[in-house]
Amino acid sequence: MKTLVKKRPWVAFFSHTGSEVAKLCYELVGEPDCVCTNTNVLNRTPFSHEILKDLWTEHDYREILCRYDNPIVTLHGWMKIIPAQICEEFEIYNGHPAAIDLYPELKGMDKQEDVINQTEKYPVIGSVIHKCTAELDSGEILVSEHVPNMKVFNRDLVYDILKDTSLRTWLKFLPNTLT
Q: Rounded to whole angstroms, how far apart are CA atoms 78 and 74? A: 9
Give the H/E segment covering residue 28: helix 19-28
Per residue in 43-94, pLDDT (tens digit) is: 555 566 778 788 899 999 999 999 999 999 999 989 899 999 999 999 999 9
Query: E strands, 1-155, where?
Result: 10-14, 34-37, 50-52, 72-76, 91-96, 124-131, 141-148
Query: E strands, 27-173, where?
Result: 34-37, 50-52, 72-76, 91-96, 124-131, 141-148
CATH number of 10-178: 3.40.50.170
Between 9 and 117, the higher pLDDT residue: 9
pTM of the predicted protein model: 0.90
pLDDT band at 38; cut points 50, 70, 90? confident
Per residue in 128-160, pLDDT (tens digit) is: 999 999 988 899 999 999 998 876 667 788 888
DSSP structure class, residue 47 = -
What pLDDT is recorded for position 1?
Answer: 55
Using a 10 angstrom Cβ sphere, with 0-12 exposed, 13-18 middle and 19 or more buried, the burial of residue 5 is exposed
Q: Rounded to whole angstroms, how far apart are CA atoms 165 and 171? A: 10
